[in-house]
A and B are shown apart, each in its own frame.
Chain A
Amino acid sequence: MRLLLMVAGELINWHFQTQALTKHSQFFDTNYKPFSLYNIPSHSSCSLPLVVFYSFPVFNSSSQISFPLLFSQSSMASIAGSSTFMASLSCHKPNQALTRASNFNAVSLAINGKSFPSLKLHSAPSRLRVSCAAKPETVDKVCSIVRKQLALPEDSAVTGESKFSSLGADSLDTVEIVMGLEEEFGISVEEESAQTIATVQDAADLIEKLIEKK
């Protein structure tokens, strides 16, 4: 499985991508144009081809695989109709997507709670990597809830990678944050899932997964 994942992490050529997406997307027409699919205005700066990291169909939704940085389980299970996926690929905030993607040249995969060593992806400047993880808006909301709970100043750096423990959150802070997230997003977080959250990004991904399930 690790080998499969490593291969999936490599750059996928357009042919495979087209095929894979065609199977699962309702939005394709026969003249597939990736830019029109993703509502990218022609004048945008995103003139680079979009590369989607797509996992092989062998991963069904029951395999409980979560990819904290690049994938989210919901986007794997159904790309079509997934507003998460569409929003994260839209060039509404192109710079944000670019910035986030270009920082990732190593992926750490967590499967069933166990982390695997980071995979090094080859950097390919000519292609833009786009993450399928939680929307930036979700991460921002989580950050602001965390800031409020921990009484951190507005300018303190809280990002997706911030670990709750490093920010000084104790157990009471953590459960209050979970409560705040439940109220904000209208979800219910089981204690088992709450235990797996270590970073802001983990929380955002879990939130989106739970929203998807609703």
Chain B
Amino acid sequence: MLPYVCKLCLNLKIHCIDQRMFCTSSLLSPLQLPSRTETHLWYVLPNEVKSEPLIKKYVDLLSPIEKENVFSMRGDELQKLALLARALVRTTITRYQICSHVSPRSLEFRKNAHGKPEVCWQHSDDWHPPPLHFNLSHTSTLIACGITIDSPIGIDVEEKQRRMKNNILSFARRYFSREEVERLSAISDPEVQRQEVIKLWTLKEAYVKALGTGFSGAPFNTFTIRFGSANPNPDAKDSAVVIVPLENQTNLTTNWQFAQVELAGSHYAAICRENDGISEGAPMKLIVRKTVPLVEEHCVL
């Protein structure tokens, strides 16, 4: 083995490595696609990605348009974030045992009618692409990608310590529904209140992204997110979260399930996907993996 790979060995949890690790085809053993009832969440911490050669490898994976977008970002940090986001999506999707001709570089993407990105599979007579859905979200310190089979997915991540520039309750009144504002106003501790506002924001954002219609298709004050128990506790993922559209909202479907997790001790993440009809009322089967694309991964949770 080459010396530089040896250095990586200490960090790697995968046993099968050699110098071909940095090539386009990863030697990490292929993963099974999530089942219809599972949701996979992958995340990367940009601050842990420092190797220049690795970053160059990521640039090589991108399409010309993606490269253009990445380099149009203002400043090195933003460019690195944009680059890692694309690299994460490409490498994550191809981690699964999909097909021999699918590689991170060969994947193509398109946007749906409302601008939501989706995979544009190469169709051929003898191969049917998997019904894979993905959704990305990022902050300046974490990038996450959710993967499902056969179900639209929306995710959103926010830093736990995020400070709003506006007054918290003014913000809530402007964007949330009346019922939600009442619930949030009733919280006496300002810090807990701020955290609940952020968590509610991620839930709503995840829902809207799962719907795929964008922010304007489902303005946040046209639906309420209600928690199953009378007093929503911090372990919200254990209580059923329901969508309650306000009157006259015919475009808002309610057949969705949510999960909320904390990632890396620093972020709130909300995941929204369709109810599969099988696990009624049970918490979402969520598998979370922390990764450095092309290099390593390990299961968290």
Q: Which chain A residues have a beta carbon within 8 Å of chain B's beta carbons?
A: 148-149, 156, 162-163, 165-168, 170-172, 175-176, 179-180, 182, 190-192, 194-195
Instruction: Check B158 against A172 for contact (C-beta < 8 Å).
Output: yes
Contact of A166 among B78, B164, B216, B220 (CB under 8 A): B78
Contacts of A191 in B (CB 8 A): 215-216, 219-220
Binary interface encoding of chain B residues 200-220 relative to chain A, with 1 for a CB under 8 A from any of its CBs, else 0: 010001000000001110011
Known A-B contacts: A162-B74, A170-B139, A171-B215. Give 6 more (CB < 8 A): A176-B165, A179-B166, A179-B170, A194-B216, A195-B215, A195-B216
Q: Is B175 part of the binding interface, using a Cβ–Cβ cutoff of 8 Å?
A: yes
Quote the shortest CB–CB distance from A200 to chain B (angstroms): 13
Residue of B nearest to A158 (CB): B74
Quote the shortest CB–CB distance from A174 to chain B (angstroms): 8
Contacts of A167 in B (CB 8 A): 74, 78
Instruction: Check B78 against A168 for contact (C-beta < 8 Å).
Output: yes
Quote the shortest CB–CB distance from B254 to chain A (angstroms): 20
Contacts of A180 in B (CB 8 A): 165-166
* Complex CA–CA separation, A148 to B77 (angstroms): 19
* Complex CA–CA separation, A180 to B164 (angstroms): 12
* Cross-chain pairs A/B with CB under 8 angstroms, 10 sampled: A149-B165, A156-B74, A170-B138, A172-B164, A172-B201, A176-B166, A179-B174, A180-B165, A192-B216, A195-B214
Given known A-B contacts A179-B166, A180-B165, A166 and B72 have beta carbons under 8 A apart:
yes
Instruction: Check A172 against B162 for contact (C-beta < 8 Å).
Output: yes
Instruction: Check B205 against A179 for contact (C-beta < 8 Å).
Output: no
* Complex CA–CA separation, A190 to B164 (angstroms): 21
Q: Which of A156, A162, A175 has the most CB of B within 10 A?
A: A175
* Complex CA–CA separation, A119 to B74 (angstroms): 27
Given known A-B contacts A179-B174, A191-B215, A171 and B205 have beta carbons under 8 A apart:
yes
Q: Is B171 part of the binding interface, using a Cβ–Cβ cutoff of 8 Å?
A: yes
Tell me which residues from 216 to 257 in chain B have a Cβ below 8 Å from any Cβ of chain A: 216, 219-220
Tell me which residues from 68 to 95 in chain B have a Cβ below 8 Å from any Cβ of chain A: 72-75, 77-78, 81
Contacts of B138 in A (CB 8 A): 170
Contacts of A190 in B (CB 8 A): 216
Contacts of B214 in A (CB 8 A): 195
* Complex CA–CA separation, A194 to B174 (angstroms): 14
Contacts of B219 in A (CB 8 A): 191
Instruction: Check A179 against B171 for contact (C-beta < 8 Å).
Output: yes
Given known A-B contacts A168-B73, A179-B171, A148 and B215 have beta carbons under 8 A apart:
no
* Complex CA–CA separation, A192 to B170 (angstroms): 21
Q: Is B140 part of the binding interface, using a Cβ–Cβ cutoff of 8 Å?
A: yes
Contacts of B78 in A (CB 8 A): 166-168
Contact of A176 among B156, B164, B220 (CB under 8 A): B164
Quote the shortest CB–CB distance from A172 to chain B (angstroms): 6
Contacts of B164 in A (CB 8 A): 172, 176
Contacts of B158 in A (CB 8 A): 172
Contacts of B74 in A (CB 8 A): 156, 162, 166-168
Residue of B nearest to A174 (CB): B215
Quote the shortest CB–CB distance from B42 to chain A (angstroms): 19
Quote the shortest CB–CB distance from B14 to chain A (angstroms): 32
Residue of B nearest to A157 (CB): B74
* Complex CA–CA separation, A156 to B219 (angstroms): 32
Q: Which of A163, A176, A180 has the most CB of B within 10 A?
A: A176
User: 7 closest pairs, A vs B, by CB?
Assistant: A195-B216, A191-B219, A191-B216, A192-B216, A168-B78, A166-B74, A166-B73
* Complex CA–CA separation, A172 to B174 (angstroms): 13
Quote the shortest CB–CB distance from A191 to chain B (angstroms): 4
* Complex CA–CA separation, A179 to B156 (angstroms): 21
Contacts of A165 in B (CB 8 A): 73
Instruction: Check A168 against B215 for contact (C-beta < 8 Å).
Output: no
Instruction: Check B171 against A176 for contact (C-beta < 8 Å).
Output: yes
Contacts of B162 in A (CB 8 A): 172
* Complex CA–CA separation, A175 to B73 (angstroms): 20
Contacts of B75 in A (CB 8 A): 168
* Complex CA–CA separation, A156 to B78 (angstroms): 14
Contacts of A162 in B (CB 8 A): 74
